[in-house]
Chains A and B, each alone.
Chain A
């Protein structure tokens, strides 16, 4: 039995496996299938200050090895989450609240509301910045620094994770920008922007036309980006992108991730996360690894 616990920003997680935002709700539905207290943590559905109804349907499509989604941040609003779900979720495991906004002030306000209530705040900066002509906050280093700072100024007690978009020029430069803005941790990658077409209708399958690409097919790109980002910063890194099994998770740890998130695979197999946790334990045992954190950043380049 290996020690699977990991420490992120001074907080101990019982293992490095966390379901990714948007694939797990607030954990209640999955808890009907298995006890989610086995997880290292749960990253919540993206929260905004006010309730959002999201995009029209269809919101999902499939392509070889990947899926595309454009849910559009449908959520009940942060207050409702705090009132109805937070206490229950905290009784189960470490809570990472994923938050989004359209202005710097949205990010500042939502962080202030969650400060001290959750274990971590994860900033979704892939949303369009209404004050910058709709370009996502997460594209340019300058705006990443700015939004990280606005969030950090309102988080006195809770560590800040900045979730990086992969649709960028330099992931290393953006990782550094998040760190300079005050991020205590970074997570990556968010989804790649893509399109899938129904050739009979000559129309995109997703109502929003484009959607975020995730799933097994993106893993090599995600591993490369996690490696580049981890090399560039000294803060902890949470890696994700196409993890389907324990071996995939180990690739991310070796590339420099301190913990991992699992998204799309929760749809393929509702038991994906507990299976990955068991698989990590088995792999460590069979490889003489006593503490899983020993694997982090042990990649040896050719």
Chain B
């Protein structure tokens, strides 16, 4: 966990309302798949928590959707060469055991980006099956990264590209053929809820990466909590963002 001033290398639109921001840190900061960073936007007291999509030595790429004033400003005002205040790497990230060989990745919307980092980390040693959901053809991105998997399915809500339906449906359609050892998922809460419900009798671990409005991003302020099965609260930023789906309330 480091507070750094990074230099922006690129900040460009890659799909409808989605931007890819690459910055360089002065020295290499190891980032694991599924970890995130907090990015400062001038004039805003709160930083934006954004998942790391790619970490290649000191070059780090995050992707974000234009959602509110902060992300719009990030897209319009931050140009290559400028400085960026970043806190990273944050959170636990995805962990797989050696015995988990066949991994299904289920992502929706901006939830696909932390899964791209998982593809980059695990594609050497695991067999990966990716099911990525988008609103429509204009939202589809990262196809070159998805090529690193054994198989990938693009699903669109309106059927304008690939599978007509959700990423969860596409995943379930192939479940019995693929027979994954574990699932990594990230996306809107209703999607994760549907995935949790659909997999509860399948006897495989499902690891979900959660999103929540955050304060400090390092576990101190107790703003971004989620409910656990035992009634306690876990911090999404520090204890997560990755949890086993059966352990948390969605």
Q: Nearest Cβ in chain B — how far from A247, in angstroms?
A: 17
**Measured between alpha carbons, how far is A67 from B223 in the docked complex, in Å?**
12
Is B222 in contact with A71, judged by CB distance below 8 angstroms?
A: yes
B213 interfacial by beta-carbon distance below 8 Å: yes
Q: Is the CB of A33 within 8 A of B225?
A: no
A194 contacts partner chain B, Cβ-Cβ < 8 Å: no
In Å, the complex CA distance between A75 and B220 comes to: 11
Complex interface: chain A residues within 8 A of B161 (CB): none
Q: B87 touching A270 by the CB < 8 A rule? A: yes
A23 within 8 A of B: yes
Q: How far is the CA of A22 from the CA of B44 in the complex (A)?
A: 19
With contact pairs A33-B3, A67-B45, A270-B87 given, residues A60 and B223 touching in the complex (Cβ less than 8 Å): yes
Q: Are B218 and A54 in contact (CB under 8 A)?
A: no
Task: Give B172-191 interface residues, CB cut-off 8 Å to A.
Answer: none
Known interface pairs A61-B213, A67-B45. Does A268 touch B40 (Cβ–Cβ under 8 Å)?
Answer: yes
Query: Which B residues, 212 to 245, have Cβ-Cβ distances below 8 Å to chain A?
Result: 212-226, 231-233, 238
Name the residue of chain B whose CB is nearest to the CB of A265. B45
Whether the pair B233, A267 counts as a contact (CB closer than 8 A) is no
> Which of A24-32, A101-109, A154-162, A178-186 forms contacts with chain B?
A24-32
Contact across chains for A25 and B3 when beta carbons are under 8 A apart: no
The answer to whether B141 has its CB under 8 Å from any CB of chain A is no
Tell whether, in the assembled complex, residue A71 and residue B221 are in contact, meaning their CB atoms are under 8 Å apart: yes
Residues of B with C-beta under 8 A to A57? 212-213, 223-226
- Does chain B have a CB within 8 A of A74? yes
Contacts of B1 in A (CB 8 A): 32-33
Verify B45–A69 contact, CB threshold 8 A. no
* Bound Cα distance from A24 to B222, whole angstroms: 10
B85 at the interface (CB under 8 A from A): yes
What's the Cα separation between A220 and B226 when bound, in Å? 35
Judge if A241 is at the interface, Cβ distance under 8 Å: no
- Complex Cα distance A59/B214, Å? 8
Q: Which residue of B lies closest to A75 (CB)?
A: B222
Indicate if the CB atoms of A267 and B215 lie closer than 8 Å. Answer: yes
CB-CB under 8 A from A74, the residues of chain B are: 222, 225, 233
With A and B bound together, what is the CA distance between A22 and B2 in angstroms?
21
Judge whether A48 is part of the interface by a CB distance below 8 angstroms.
Answer: no
B248 at interface, CB cutoff 8 A: no
B139 at the binding interface (Cβ < 8 Å): no
A45–B46 CB distance below 8 A: no
What residues of B have a CB within 8 angstroms of the CB of A59 in the complex? 213, 215, 222-225
> Which residue in A32, A71, A271 is a CB contact (below 8 Å) of B218?
A32
The secondary-structure label for the interface of chain B is loop
Interface size class of B (residues with CB under 8 A): 20 to 34
**Cβ–Cβ contact A216 & B233, under 8 A:** no
Q: Pick the residue among A62, A75, A269 that contacts B3 (CB under 8 A).
A: A269
- The A/B interface has a contact count, at CB < 8 Å, of 100
Q: Is the CB of A23 within 8 A of B221?
A: yes
| CB–CB A25/B220 < 8 A | yes
A59 vs B215: C-alpha distance when bound (angstroms): 9
Q: CA–CA, A71 to B222, complex, Å? A: 7
Give, as a whole number of angstroms, the nearest-CB distance from A89 to chain B: 13
Residue of A nearest to B236 (CB): A57
Contact of B46 among A22, A32, A268, A271 (CB under 8 A): A268
Q: A193: CB under 8 A from chain B?
A: no
Least CB distance from B32 to A in Å reads 16
What are the residues of chain A within 8 A of B87 when measuring CB–CB? 270
Contacts of B46 on A, CB cut-off 8 Å? 60, 62, 67, 267-268
Q: A24 vs B46: C-alpha distance in the bound complex, in angstroms?
A: 15
- Which residues of B, 69-102, contact A by the 8 Å Cβ criterion? 70, 85, 87
Q: Which of chain B's residues have a CB closer than 8 A to the CB of A54?
A: 222, 225, 233
**CA A267 to CA B231, docked complex, whole Å:** 27
Cβ-defined contact, B45 with A215, below 8 A: yes
Check B2–A33 contact: CB distance below 8 A.
Answer: yes
Say whether A60 contacts B215, CB under 8 Å: yes
Q: Once bound together, how far apart are the Cα atoms of A59 and B225, in whole Å?
A: 9
Given A57-B226, A62-B46, A269-B3, A25:B233 Cβ within 8 A: no
Given contacts A60-B214, A215-B45, contact A25 B221 (CB under 8 A): yes
In the complex, what's the smallest C-beta–C-beta distance from A272 to chain B, in angstroms? 10
Shortest B188–chain A CB gap in Å is 15
Q: Could you name 21 residue pairs across A and B whose Cβ atoms are closer than 8 Å?
A: A23-B221, A25-B221, A32-B218, A33-B1, A33-B3, A53-B231, A54-B233, A57-B223, A59-B213, A60-B213, A65-B45, A67-B215, A265-B45, A267-B46, A267-B47, A267-B217, A267-B221, A268-B46, A268-B47, A270-B87, A271-B3
Smallest CB-CB A-B distances: 5 pairs: A25-B220, A29-B220, A29-B218, A58-B213, A60-B223
Known: A54-B233, A266-B216, A267-B221. 16 other contacts (CB 8 A): A22-B221, A33-B3, A33-B218, A45-B222, A57-B213, A57-B224, A60-B46, A61-B213, A67-B45, A215-B45, A267-B45, A269-B3, A269-B85, A270-B3, A270-B216, A270-B218
Which residues of B are interface residues toward A (Cβ below 8 A)? 1-3, 40, 44-47, 70, 85, 87, 212-226, 231-233, 238
